[in-house]
Amino acid sequence: MTTLTDPPEESFRLSMLINDTRYRSYTFQFIALMLLIVFMSYLGWNLVQNLAEQGQNISYRFLGEPSGYDINQTPIEYDSQSTHLRASIVGVLNTIIVAFLGCVSATILGVTAGVLRLSPNWLVRKLMAAYVEAFRNVPVLIWILIIFSIMTAAMPAPSAFRGDAPDASMVFGAVAFTNRGVYVPSPIWGSGSLIVVLLFIASVIGVFAYRRYATKLLYDTGKLLPMGWPSLAILVLPSVIAYYILGQPISLEYPELKGFNFGGGIHIRGSLIALWFALAIYTGAFIAENVRAGIQAISRGQTEAAASLGLRPRRIMNLVILPQALRIVIPPVISQYLNLTKNSSLAIAVGYMDVTGTLGGITLNQTGRAIETVLMLMLFYLLISLAISGVMNLYNNAMKLQER
């Protein structure tokens, strides 16, 4: 007769730490943790020693001291007596400005180029392919510098606009491209302009409401309302009518030559233009590829099925292909936005005062507080990245295919 007994309790041996899968993972994690701690304390010990040797310390007190330098583009009030902290905030705002401008124009450019790359027109297709390849394969820094040298070296000086037969003239009499930047008209908000603006916002909402209503009508009753021209009418007409009834409350101030330079209007510096355009064109090429890949990823069967239902090519695109393609296109496009924001730190190469230029550039050089400033700089970008990837995750969850 056999009796089942438990296997004899194996006594713990040291070699089991490395050979037995039950204990091995603990050994490895312990070793990894120890190595990490040793490495970190080595770095920390070096830091303490280096700081002591140079008579320095880690302190953020410099943030409250006057910065003593000027910034050429200040979205909020700032002068050289303001603190370093305020200088960094100006830089942060400048980063956000150029990132926003870049993202919007890169999207427009990229979607256009991506769709045109799939056009039946051979010439346009090839031209767009050339654009995408040329810009994707050359460093963005070189494009920034090329556009910056166009802005500073190839544009006429303000004095060229002077006289009866000037060498240069303003585009449409309103926009002046000079080597000191671009001057565009600025709006002047008269009394009553608030009503026009509010009306315009209301009509934007109205357009969405109309389209929603039309879709609902289509699904409920099968009745098809026209979409194109009514939306346009709702968008434009009320504001235009109100604008003339109220006696044209919003007017434009045109830039004018005053002395040696232009006055009036909005002055956009060459560095902002260079950074904005270069980032937009460069990132646009990547977005074009994402859009093309997304549209091509939708299988041909979808197009054929839609066609067999009797949909016309335009409706196939709008109702069948694009809704599916967007799900594929949007995540990589958002990570392109993230890249664009990070690439905007190249501003320092053309002297645009973004956060890398103020906090990581002049503030660092003036105060010599390398560790603190670089750490703050990294945390700022990290925060932006985490925020954007948070948005991306939210979107992904919302758009995920609702499977059973």
Partner 1 sequence: MSDTHSQTAFVRTEVLPEAPPPVYEQGIVKWLRENLFSSVANTILTLAAIWAVYYLATATGPWILNGVWTTSSLTECRDVLQGDVGACFSVLAERWNQLLFGFKYPDELYWRPLLAFALLFVALGPLLFFKVFPRKFLALTAVYPFLAFYLIWGGTIMVPVFALLGFVVGIIVYRRLVLQSAAMGLLGAVIAAFAFWYATGFITGPMANFLALEPVPSRDMGGFMLNMMLGVICVSLSLPIGILLALGRQSNMPIIKWISVVFIEFIRGVPLITLLFVANVVLAYFLPPESSLDLILRVIIMITMFASAYIAEVIRGGLAALPKGQYEAADSLGLDYAQSMQLIILPQALKISIPGIVNVSVGLFKDTTLVSVISMFDLVGMIRGPILGASEWNGVYWELFGFAALLFFVVCYSISQYSQWLERQLQTDHR
Q: Which residues bind partner 1 (CB under 8 A)?
A: 18-19, 24-25, 28-29, 32-33, 36, 43, 46-47, 49-51, 53, 116, 119-124, 127, 133-134, 136-143, 145-146, 149, 153, 342-343, 345-346, 348-349, 356, 360, 364, 370-371, 374, 377-378, 381-382, 385-386
Secondary structure (H, E, C), 66-93: ECCCCCCCCCCCCCCCCEHHHHHHHHHH
What are the DSSP calls for 208-235, one per residue?
HHHHHHHHHHHHHH------HHHHHHHH
Between helices 140-149 and 270-297, what is the axis angle to 10°? 140
CA dist 291 and 300 (Å) reads 16
Question: CA 124, 127, 129 angle in degrees (round to 5)?
Answer: 110
Min. distance of Cβ 128 from partner 1 in angstroms? 9
Min. distance of Cβ 383 from partner 1 in angstroms? 8
Closer to partner 1 at the Cβ: 243 or 276?
Answer: 276
Closer to partner 1 at the Cβ: 49 or 251?
Answer: 49
Closer to partner 1 at the Cβ: 101 or 347?
Answer: 347
Closer to partner 1 at the Cβ: 227 or 388?
Answer: 388
Min. distance of Cβ 346 from partner 1 in angstroms? 7
Min. distance of Cβ 343 from partner 1 in angstroms? 7
Closer to partner 1 at the Cβ: 133 or 253?
Answer: 133
CA dist 280 and 72 (Å) reads 22
Q: What is the DSSP letter of 345?
A: G
Identify which of 76, 106, 70, 80 has the alpha carbon closest to the alpha carbon of residue 90. 76
Closer to partner 1 at the Cβ: 20 or 253?
Answer: 20
Closer to partner 1 at the Cβ: 185 or 361?
Answer: 361
Min. distance of Cβ 332 from partner 1 in angstroms? 11
Min. distance of Cβ 258 from partner 1 in angstroms? 29
- Whose structure tokens read 């040793």? 38
Question: Which residues are CB-neighbours of 377 under 8 A, at least 6 positions away?
Answer: 355, 356, 359, 360
Min. distance of Cβ 382 from partner 1 in angstroms? 4
Identify which of 224, 189, 374, 180 has the alpha carbon closest to the alpha carbon of residue 312. 224
Closer to partner 1 at the Cβ: 129 or 207?
Answer: 129
Min. distance of Cβ 21 from partner 1 in angstroms? 8
Helix (H, G, I), strand (E, B) or coil at 206: helix
Does residue 111 contact residue 261 with C-beta atoms inside 8 Å?
no
Min. distance of Cβ 318 from partner 1 in angstroms? 16
The H-assigned helical ranges of 258-369 are 270-297, 300-308, 313-315, 322-343, 355-357, 364-367
Closer to partner 1 at the Cβ: 303 or 345?
Answer: 345
- Whose structure tokens read 């006429």? 156
Go through the chain and tell me how many residues it has. Answer: 404
- Whose structure tokens read 């194109």? 228
CA dist 394 and 115 (Å) reads 27
Closer to partner 1 at the Cβ: 183 or 282?
Answer: 282
Min. distance of Cβ 57 from partner 1 in angstroms? 12
